[in-house]
């Protein structure tokens, strides 16, 4: 078993109710944050979160939805992923606002 699989299987240590998919302002995948509450913004102070890098997020999303997570920002695909997650009772959203300059 690969180390990345072992790490991912231990993440997160809470039931996921919120997922935010973040891309840079140039359209590259930046991170996925997982939350134990059904929100992704204006979270209460101290709310736990798990940050997933692309390979972890790609597997996580594929396992939940059966869809491939794009490594570039693609509105239509991400909207479909968000809709599939919402059907599973997980609040989700995405943006390409991360300025890494």
pLDDT tens for each residue of 32-45: 999 999 999 989 99
User: What is the predicted pLDDT for the residue at 12?
Assistant: 79
pLDDT tens digits for range 1-18:
555 555 555 567 899 999
Least confident of 54-58, 67-71, 97-101: 97-101
Task: Tell me the domain boundaries of the chain.
Answer: 16-73+90-101
User: What is the predicted pLDDT for the residue at 97?
Assistant: 86
Quick one: average pLDDT of 53-72? 96
CA 12 to chain centre: 12
Integer Cα distance of 94 and 39 in angstroms: 12
User: What is the predicted pLDDT for the residue at 100?
Assistant: 67
Place of tokens 């935010």: 20
Is 89 a residue whose pLDDT tops 90?
A: yes
Pair 28, 49: CB distance under 8 Å: no
User: What is the predicted pLDDT for the residue at 11?
Assistant: 63
Is 91 a residue whose pLDDT tops 90?
A: yes
Tell me which DSSP letter residue 98 carries: E
């Amino acid at each position: 078993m690969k180390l990345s699989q072992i790490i991912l299987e231990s993440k997160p240590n809470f039931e996921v109710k919120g997922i935010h998919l973040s891309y840079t302002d140039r359209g590259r995948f930046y991170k996925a944050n997982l939350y134990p509450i059904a929100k992704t913004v204006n979270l209460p102070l101290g709310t736990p979160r798990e940050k997933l890098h692309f390979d972890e997020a790609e597997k996580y999303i594929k396992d939940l939805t059966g869809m491939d997570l794009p490594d570039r920002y693609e509105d239509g695909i991400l909207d479909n992923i968000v809709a599939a997650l919402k059907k599973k009772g997980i609040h989700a959203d995405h943006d390409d606002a991360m300025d890494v300059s």
